[in-house]
Chain A
Amino acid sequence: MDMTAERTDEYKSGSNLEKILRAGHFAVTGELGPPQGADAEVIHRKAQLLAGVVDAVNITDNQTAVARMSSIASGVLAMQDGLEPVIQMTCRDRNRLAMQSDLMGAYALGARNVLCLTGDHQSFGNHPTAKNVHDLDSIQLIQMVRRMRDEGVFQNGEQIKAGVPRFFIGGAINPFGDPFEFRPYRLAKKIAAGADFVQTQLIYDIPRFREFMKRVVDMGLHEKVYILAGVGPLKSSGMARYMRDQVPGMIVRDEYVDRMKGAIAGIPKEDKKARRKAWREMGIKICIEQIQEIMEIEGVAGIHIMAVEWEAAIKPIVEGAGLLPRPQVE
């Protein structure tokens, strides 16, 4: 795929994720949530479940506005287990000084991918009385990281003095957010700002995602950015209902809620263990089917699997979708 007007054979960042995508492989990324504490073992334990299973792993940044171990520190710990991190960075918690400082630090520690996000509002998390920052928005953050890499300058235009951080730059897109008509244009803005890849919100409405991708392909955007479709296994029918009814910016089709409900048909309510097992098997099964459906959609360059606090599900999903072993690109 020709990704830039002035294509060179040099990689922008040299990250594994970039190499996999550039080589035309269907990429697989996962997600690892840092703990609400300082125990490095939690990261290592989760990382070991993902090593060799995904091309890179997103490390969430105070996800849902809950204070957790830093995404950069967690990413560096995960690297010790052979994982390549995608450092998530939200605009909620830092101003442009702190962001640039952290970007340089992350790069110096070996991180090569960054995902630029707005961030969930702090009212969702466990510090709802916090002040939010939003000095930059996610598009301005993408632009800043791109200019640091391609022009060697800070946000203020001054030259970076000792070592330019060269990241593979990601953004998020939500095909299920409104206004729907604006969403492809917002993607176009992220590309113009400098996004190399984007990952989508969790997809539980494939027809709407297909419609979104049709517009994206009609605009030619899929040729300018790698689009990774976001999926995740449902854990229970309650979780499916909750995501359908309560989570802003998500659409969950009833068929998934019904199938999760159907998974425990005939299992007595008291047998929690059996219900849990049946739910989880169904969640993984649905996720694999979704990946197979999504792989057929034009313009999709890879899959991003978000298994929140269920990292162990990722391997069976990737395996079940026929995406193991992961390709090696040198």
Chain B
Amino acid sequence: MIVGEQKTLDEIMGLLGDAHKVLVAGCGTCVTVSFAGGEKEVGILASQLRMRSKLEGHPMEVDEVTVQRQCEWEYIDPLAPRLGEYDVILSLACGIGVQAMNERFPDSITLPGVNTVFLGMPVEQGIWEERCQACGDCILGLTAGICPIARCSKQLLNGPCGGSQNGVCEVNPDIPCAWQLIWERAVKLGREEWLLEIQPPKDWSKSRDGGPRKIVRDDLRLADME
């Protein structure tokens, strides 16, 4: 899932500037699960904004709404009739939701209240870790099911750098060395040979480096759209 983290109240206040009427718009999917922008976080942030703006002497009128998914037209279209009342919409969705709102409602300004941080998962209550970089060319079949693109600080493809020691990355002892994990798993599976072949340079054109990506599935498209 997409893991997000709410921006600080100070930064959000700065973004809102002198807006009088604000709609805080949550999303019921990924950011709800990562406790950054679901219905509950929308409620708390809206209260904080009301109190803070009042204390600062320019009280804002803050409304709340949370849609199932801010990244699909069908879920955000029902918001259209009421958006004209607001100076600003503060989206607590990921960057996709924020852009969907701006694209669908070009006459309104939708600002981000959340930083979209990574594609990952909760490894325990309150801790999320990155797992995927959406590089567009999955190599997990060669790396014992552990992704060095997302989890090695240098995205190495042929084994650990010289900074791996005692199982941790040179960047930070809180980061497990991905290649240590890969090696251990390969050994456990008796598949060391996976790691002995030289992996060629990666085709980054399939990643973001090739420009913004797009998938077209003709088998799924509706006939009248062609």
- A: which residues have CB within 8 A of B? 91-92, 96, 118-121, 123-124, 132, 134-140, 143-144, 155, 172-174, 176-179, 181-182, 185-186, 188-189, 192-193, 201, 248-250
CB<8 Å pairs between A and B, sample of 9: A96-B201, A132-B154, A173-B162, A178-B160, A178-B167, A178-B180, A179-B179, A185-B195, A188-B196
A140 with B201: CB separation less than 8 A: yes
Which B residues from 160 to 201 make CB contacts under 8 A with A?
160-172, 177, 179-180, 183-184, 187, 192, 195-196, 198-201
- Closest Cβ neighbor of A156 among chain B residues: B201
Q: Which of A91, A177, A193 contacts B160 (CB 8 A)?
A: A177
Size range of the chain B interface in the assembly: 35 or more
Known: A178-B180, A248-B165. A121 touches B171 (CB 8 A): yes
Q: Which of A137, A174, A176, A181 contacts B158 (CB 8 A)?
A: A137
Taken together as a complex, chains A and B put the C-alpha atoms of A135 and B199 apart, in Å, by 13
A135 with B163: CB separation less than 8 A: no
Q: Smallest distance from the beta carbon of B39 to chain A beta carbons, Å?
A: 35
Which residues of chain B come closer than 8 Å to A173, judged between CB atoms? 162
Which residues of chain B come closer than 8 Å to A119, judged between CB atoms? 154
B158 with A186: CB separation less than 8 A: yes
B200 with A140: CB separation less than 8 A: yes
Known: A176-B165, A248-B170. A137 touches B157 (CB 8 A): yes
Number of A-B contacts (CB under 8 A): 105
Taken together as a complex, chains A and B put the C-alpha atoms of A289 and B138 apart, in Å, by 50
A134 with B156: CB separation less than 8 A: yes
Which residues of chain B come closer than 8 Å to A144, judged between CB atoms? 201
Which residues of chain B come closer than 8 Å to A172, judged between CB atoms? 162
Interface of B is mostly: loop
A249 with B162: CB separation less than 8 A: yes
B162 with A201: CB separation less than 8 A: yes
Q: Which of A140, A155, A174 contacts B162 (CB 8 A)?
A: A174
Which residues of chain A come closer than 8 Å to B180, judged between CB atoms? 178-179
Q: Which of A155, A179, A185, A188 contacts B164 (CB 8 A)?
A: A179
Q: Smallest distance from the beta carbon of A136 to chain B beta carbons, Å?
A: 5
B154 with A91: CB separation less than 8 A: yes
B198 with A189: CB separation less than 8 A: yes
In this complex, the member of A119, A188, A248 whose beta carbon has the largest number of chain B beta carbons within 10 angstroms is A248
Q: Smallest distance from the beta carbon of A116 to chain B beta carbons, Å?
A: 12
Taken together as a complex, chains A and B put the C-alpha atoms of A186 and B160 apart, in Å, by 8
Taken together as a complex, chains A and B put the C-alpha atoms of A125 and B85 apart, in Å, by 49
The answer, yes or no, to whether B28 is at the interface (CB within 8 Å) is no
In this complex, the member of A91, A135, A143, A186 whose beta carbon has the largest number of chain B beta carbons within 10 angstroms is A186
Which residues of chain B come closer than 8 Å to A174, judged between CB atoms? 162
Q: Which of A91, A134, A177, A193 contacts B198 (CB 8 A)?
A: A193
B160 with A182: CB separation less than 8 A: yes
B164 with A186: CB separation less than 8 A: no
Taken together as a complex, chains A and B put the C-alpha atoms of A161 and B134 apart, in Å, by 36
Q: Smallest distance from the beta carbon of B21 to chain A beta carbons, Å?
A: 36
Taken together as a complex, chains A and B put the C-alpha atoms of A192 and B160 apart, in Å, by 17
The answer, yes or no, to whether B204 is at the interface (CB within 8 Å) is yes
A121 with B162: CB separation less than 8 A: no
In this complex, the member of B154, B160, B184, B200 whose beta carbon has the largest number of chain A beta carbons within 10 angstroms is B154
Which residues of chain A come closer than 8 Å to B168, judged between CB atoms? 248
- Closest Cβ neighbor of A136 among chain B residues: B201
Known: A121-B171, A185-B196. A249 touches B159 (CB 8 A): no
Which residues of chain A come closer than 8 Å to B183, judged between CB atoms? 179, 181-182
- Closest Cβ neighbor of A121 among chain B residues: B171
Known: A178-B177, A179-B180, A249-B165. A139 touches B198 (CB 8 A): yes
In this complex, the member of B161, B164, B179, B204 whose beta carbon has the largest number of chain A beta carbons within 10 angstroms is B161
Which residues of chain A come closer than 8 Å to B163, judged between CB atoms? 120-121, 177, 248-249
Taken together as a complex, chains A and B put the C-alpha atoms of A176 and B192 apart, in Å, by 20
A178 with B166: CB separation less than 8 A: yes
Q: Which of B164, B199, B202 contacts A249 (CB 8 A)?
A: B164
